[in-house]
Amino acid sequence: MTAVRDPSVRRSVTLFRAFLREQQDPEHVYGLLARDAVAQVARYAPVSGATVADVGGGSGHFTREFRRRGARCFLFEPDPRELHAHGPGPDGAVIADGYLLPLADGAADVCFSSNVLEHVADPPTFLSEMVRVTRPGGLIYVAFTNWYSPWGGHETAPWHYLGHERARARYRRRHGREAKHTVGENLFAVHVGATLRHVRARDDVEIVSARSRYWPFLAGAVTRVPGLREFATWNLLLILRRCPR
């Protein structure tokens, strides 16, 4: 299946249905999400022939899709278990931390990170490194699940609204094992308002688009309403362009 038009009701319904089948058919879900995200990038920058850095790329679904569409895509992932979680990671994957990418300044036409920002303790520094490796005029794609999103607690959601410790205790009781994520260790409370204020204040990027990643309509408007946006955005997508030097 190819990616469907973004945003549209059909696209959102397709993605939502796929998420419901994540446990039974993860390959289908991640493949669909990758086609969708790369199609989003392609609306703003050529993908074929582009040099792309996929930061925190996990097992490489996005890297594979960028390569399928003709990009020279390099995957940087600090955790080998994530890299090989769904079989061998893509060729040439590099074990590297997003805070310190082994790339020269301005090496990438597109710097891409999907659902990584909420897993780093210092999002502004992580973003700065993404900006550093992007060429002037190049594109930065950052999408993340914010803390007050219904999915903010990840596998413990939506019980994170009652507090992370209670949510973890409930997960332990229900599943007989610890939840994968611990707030303050590998999951952090990142907010829509604070992130938007941070990127607006930067002088090295311009915001091309700030919107809910999955919403079929009002995707930009929802991110402009303080309070509501922390719940309703669900997953914030930022498309940034690196300013010319």
Q: Give the binding site for ligand SAM (CB under 6 A).
A: 55-58, 77-79, 82, 97-99, 114-116, 119-120
CB 88 within 8 A of CB 80: no
Nearest residue (CB) to ligand SAM, 185 versus 203: 185
Supply the minimum distance, in Å, between the C-beta of residue 82 and ligand SAM.
4
Q: Which is nearer to ligand SAM, 180 or 200 (CB)?
A: 180
Nearer of residues 127 and 240 to ligand SAM, judged by Cβ: 127
Provide the minimum distance between the beta carbon of 210 and ligand SAM in the complex, in angstroms, as a whole number: 19
Q: In the chain, which ranges are continuous DSSP H helix?
A: 9-20, 26-42, 61-68, 80-83, 123-133, 164-175, 192-201, 228-232
CB of 154 to ligand SAM, least distance (A): 8
Nearer to ligand SAM, 94 or 221 (CB): 94
Q: How many other C-beta atoms are found inside a 10 Å radius of the C-beta of residue 22?
A: 12
Task: Tell me the closest approach of the beta carbon of residue 244 to ligand SAM, in angstroms.
Answer: 27
Tell me if 148 sits within 8 A of 115, measured CB to CB.
no
How far apart, in Å, are the Cα atoms of 106 and each of 135, 140, 191, 242? 4, 12, 28, 9
Q: What residue type is 72 in one-letter code?
A: R
Minimum distance from residue 100 beta carbon to ligand SAM (Å): 9
Residue nearer to ligand SAM on the CB measure, 23 or 244 = 23
